[in-house]
Amino acid sequence: MGRGRGHASLILSHQDSHGVCAVQGETTTVAPRTRPPLSPRPRCLTRCGYTWPPARDAGQPFNEGEMMASKRNARGAQPAYSMPELSELYGRPPYEYRDTRQLLVTFRTDPKVLRKLVPAPLVPDKSGHMFVAISEFFTSGFGHYHEINMSALATFKGRPVNYGLYLILDNDIATAGGREIWGFPKKMGRVALETSDGVMRGTVERGGIVLVEAAMQLKTFGSAADVGGSAEYVSRKLIPSVSNGAPPEVFQLTSTTLTNIVVREVHKGPATLRFGLSPADRFADIPVEEVTGGFYYRTDFTLEDGVVVHDYLA
């Protein structure tokens, strides 16, 4: 299949006439984001001996989505960015990804199924286009890990985005950080990416069940345009209340756009995709009606912080 709506990527910035196509070996330019005004000082932080806004180094930009506060104590130390405070699990974005290996399989599902899975105000792709990306990551902050990202093509206020439906990975730091910062729907599992006899193959397993089997033949070389897709990722961030019966503490759509993208060594060829049956991880609820493309490539990019684009509690 040629370039078009069936092709979406974990990192690129082209989708039909809505985006700008990344050029192989070059980086993309992302427009500055408009941020909401700074929140007033939370009373709870004042009572607990914290200052608001949090202290920060000179010249360091403030991220209003962070509840980093500077605790008043003898040493003037700041609390950790994440728990536990004694040894934080992860630091603040951005995270730099280098020499990522990625298997990308694009496919089409039943549009009726997709409409049930993609929440308003997002609008799912009318033809049911989706993708799975099975990756091996090397990154600052999170370290080395494998991950599958299953996303649906959608639009938000007319612009193309990727809506993450399911991510499974094998790294607790990246799992917790992805859920707590951006709201990525992540679970722990086993993910493998390997090549044999000219075939690149990715598998995903949880609970002793193979949930995803994706493969593509390394048949010909391609270009960055072959793996074009929106660089913007939208997630539904949900944090329940500690009290039963109370509304969620956080219920919003967040957005982050990958930057500093470089693509190398693109391969393309025929591909296959299969979802396994599991009572706990319902990948098989999404039918694979047509596989539209298979690609393998290497890439670098930066995972930035994000913004809230819709608050369901407001």
Q: What was the pLDDT predicted at 72?
A: 40
d(CA 181, CA 81): 11
Closest to 184 (Cα-Cα) out of 300, 93, 87: 93
- Whether the per-residue pLDDT at 3 is higher than 80: the answer is no
pLDDT higher than 80, residue 35: no
Domain map of the chain by residue range? 96-311
pLDDT of residue 78: 77
Which one has a higher pLDDT value, 63 or 171? 171
- Cβ pair 214, 271 in contact under 8 A: yes
Q: How far apart are CA 313 and CA 216, in angstroms?
A: 43
Span 180-187, average pLDDT: 98
Averaged pLDDT score across all residues of the chain? 85
Annotated catalytic residue, options 71, 186, 187, 237: 186
Residue 188 has pLDDT above 90, yes or no: yes
State the pLDDT at residue 19: 40
What does the pLDDT read at residue 279?
A: 97
- Tens-digit pLDDT profile for residues 294-306: 999 999 999 999 9
pLDDT tens-place string over residues 56-77: 455 555 454 444 444 444 445 6
Q: At 79, is the pLDDT very low, low, confident or very high (cuts 50, 70, 90)? A: confident
Over residues 239-259, the pLDDT tens digits come to: 999 999 999 999 999 999 999
Q: What is the mean pLDDT of residues 48-58?
A: 49
d(C-alpha 6, C-alpha 2), whole Å: 9
* Residue 10 DSSP symbol: S
Total-model pTM:
0.79
> 193 and 169 in contact (C-beta within 8 Å)?
no
pLDDT > 90 fraction of the chain, expressed in percent and rounded: 74
Question: What is the model's pLDDT at position 104?
Answer: 98
Could you confirm whether 116 is annotated as catalytic?
Answer: no
Residue 285 pLDDT > 90, yes or no?
yes
Widest distance between CA atoms in the chain: 64
Arithmetic mean of pLDDT, 80-96: 95
The number of residues in the chain equals: 314
- CATH code: domain 96-311 is 2.40.400.10
